[in-house]
Chain A
Amino acid sequence: MEKILTKKEFPTWIKNLESYHVFGPVKKETIWEYEKIKDPEKLDLNFPNTALSPKKIFFPQREVILDFNKNNKGEPEINESLPEKKPVVIFGVRSCDAKALTLTDHVFKEDPDDKYYLRRRNQTTIVGLTCNEPPSKNCFCTSLDGSPHSKEGMDILMTELEDKYYIEAITDKGKELIEKAKDVSKNPSEKDKDELKKVHKASEKKIKRQIKGLSKITDKLKNMFDSSLWDEESMSCLKCGICTYLCPTCHCFDISDEVTSSSPLKGQRVRTWDTCQFPYFTMHSSGHNPRPDKASRLRQRILHKFYYFVDNYGDYQCTGCGRCISKCPVDIDIIEVLEKVKDYE
């Protein structure tokens, strides 16, 4: 199902979605974040990529797993705390972020599945947006079987054509959502279809950065555990964790108990984001740390994304969004590291 919706009528479509929580990119000071849209007129799809990917809507920074307390007999009680049941729509999801969701799906949907992630995922409709221009000069989605107009992981793909949007439904969920715009949308003309093809083709050519030969890199990585490359490349790493916190595919987390009242005991067990780049991520209670230095942690990040994940799930754990390159305070560039791996003797 394909429709054309003018930019003027776009807010009308949003207004018809009262039964959903609508999320979209919102400007906060100098950055963009996905937030609930209160005013449909304010939803602006003219934005570079967000600071944090929409992964945080499915796998939030803080998720309450269960509430616990001790009753008046002193016996502990546990209540699971699942996310609210309400359909959600997210507008303006870039192809790299949508594809990343299919990668985190591998981890969280794998048996035994994660109910929290699954509930949020199943009740959400993802409305993607073609990147007519690459949002960042560090984008490299085309090197990872992706493209600025890839439909992977989406329910709908919107493409901007001058003063209107070309809307393509990909799944049944997507069709259902487009139905809500049927009064204000119309069928695309042949001209529109041609224009769409042109925009899509042009968008691919605008991606400047490439890594070629990824399968060769994966093969090389299999034998590079003890290489000195990791020491050289991690010298300027500050173990700040930004690369992994902003990554749309990273899924490491911590589970901790937070006590709000100690007598009678009351509290919550929460899940929060964590990162393999923190020095104490792997530290045992005994004080032994299998990854005590920066080199071993950088090695873990690269090997996990381009070798372990490939062996376990058949996909690279990277979609080329470029956030880690743009935001690293000391310019550690994952593309450069991979190129060095490719050329390593």
Chain B
Amino acid sequence: MSENIYIPKLAKIIEIKEEVTGSRPIKTFRTQFIDKNDFSHRPGQCAMLSVLGKGESMISISSSPLEKDYLQFSILKMGKVTTALHEMQEGDIIGIRGPYGNSFPIEKWKGKNIIFIGGGIGLAPIWSVLQTVREKKDDYGKLTVIYGSRTSKDLVFKKELKELRNEMEVFLSVDCEEEGWDEFVGFVPQNVTDKKPSPENSVSITCGPPIMIKFVIEALQDLGFKDEQIYTTVENKMKCGIGKCGRCNIGKHYVCKDGPVYSWAKLKTLPQEY
């Protein structure tokens, strides 16, 4: 008797961290299922978070699947459901169903250098794969992070990024000059061009605002990266999360089922309507 895929499982919010405050706040939520179950995900997958009475929202799981104690989501306050999530307290209960979508093919990347390029909230989907790969560092080549945001206040995972510096190169950037900022000033694609990651035996993952992704892909191509070496995630409005409601399709693919992870080689063959 198969499960009813529309019914969320209840989970308690065990920790809320304010990453970014202001007009576009971001909070990181850590949740634990109330009833033990065999939920397991792969890096890059997403889950539908339910606020009963408000609705659902598809959010990428930013914790690694190796983390068994909790599921982590970093959420930007954008509309009805995310506002309701931001108003919640630790101990409140939400619904989670999933995991949905495909994942980053990290098995194929063994032995390769991986460059993680993120902008704003876009670091959250990448975080999951970054944490997974970091645990098995010896299986992979050189790991590099290139991440930026509008201002230093809009950077997420600030504390974690600081710790990461002990293990790998982390290049941060902000869009405009700022007092006390001594790293790169400019947009993330410009930082990529500046740091010149080598395409030799490398693969890159990029995630962020659509306009940033477009220019990052161009910057990587200029550096010699082939389309198969560039990976990104796509987002679209979703309701069912399982490829039945017909809302999130790009061509014949449903982003909730056949995506959200795509190599640029694959994504450029799909109709550009996302």
Contact = CB atoms under 8 A, between A and B. Distances in A.
Q: Do A and B share a direct contact in the complex (Cβ within 8 angstroms)?
A: yes
B239 A78 contact: no
A254 interface: yes
B247 interface: yes
B53 A257 contact: yes
B78 interface: yes
Contact of B7 (A66, A291, A311): A66
A257 B54 contact: yes
Given A78-B95, A274-B245, A312 B239 contact: no
Given A251-B246, A308-B249, A225 B52 contact: no
Contact of A112 (B5, B55, B95, B235): B5
B240 to A, nearest CB: 7
A177 B248 CA distance: 41
Contacts of B53: 68, 257, 259, 262, 265, 267
Contacts of B246: 251-253, 274, 276, 304
Interface residues of A, number: 50
Nearest to B248: A282
A122 interface: no
A345 interface: no
Contacts of B78: 285-286
A108 B5 CA distance: 11
A308 B273 CA distance: 14
Given A68-B52, A265-B52, A312-B252, A253 B245 contact: yes
A271 B55 CA distance: 12
Interface in B1-22: 2-8, 10
Kindly state the interface size class of chain B when it binds its partner: 35 or more
Contacts of B181: none
Given A68-B52, A75-B93, A281-B247, A253 B239 contact: yes
Nearest to B274: A290
Contacts of A66: 6-7
Interface in B121-136: none
Interface in A289-311: 290-291, 296, 300, 303-304, 307-309, 311
Nearest to A118: B2
Contacts of B180: none
B25 interface: no
A195 interface: no
A44 to B, nearest CB: 35
Contacts, number: 108
B96 to A, nearest CB: 12
B236 interface: yes
Given A254-B239, A282-B247, A78 B273 contact: no
Contacts of B248: 282
Interface in B248-270: 248-249, 251-252
Nearest to A112: B5
A291 B273 contact: yes
Contacts of B245: 251-255, 274
Contact of B10 (A78, A274, A308, A309): A78
A110 B243 contact: yes
A113 B2 contact: yes
A255 B54 CA distance: 11
B82 to A, nearest CB: 8
Nearest to A104: B244
A251 B244 contact: yes
Contacts of B8: 78
B237 A282 contact: yes
A287 to B, nearest CB: 10
Contacts of A68: 52-53
Contacts of B236: 282, 284, 290
A112 B252 CA distance: 18
A308 B246 CA distance: 11
A256 B252 contact: no
A76 interface: yes
Residue in A108, A112, A225 with the greatest tally of chain B CB atoms within 10 Å: A112
A154 interface: no
A257 B242 contact: no
A166 B78 CA distance: 61
B154 interface: no
Interface string A141-164: 000000000000000000000000
A59 to B, nearest CB: 10
Interface of A: 65-66, 68, 70, 75-76, 78, 80, 82, 107-108, 110, 112-115, 225, 251-257, 259, 262, 265, 267, 269, 271, 274, 276, 281-286, 288, 290-291, 296, 300, 303-304, 307-309, 311-312
18 contacts: A66-B6, A75-B93, A78-B10, A107-B243, A112-B2, A112-B3, A114-B244, A251-B245, A253-B240, A253-B245, A253-B246, A255-B245, A259-B53, A265-B52, A283-B237, A303-B251, A304-B249, A311-B252
Given A113-B2, A114-B244, A308-B249, 9 more contacts: A68-B53, A78-B52, A108-B244, A110-B243, A112-B2, A114-B5, A274-B246, A276-B247, A307-B252
Closest CB pairs A-B (n = 5)? A285-B79, A308-B252, A252-B246, A68-B52, A112-B5
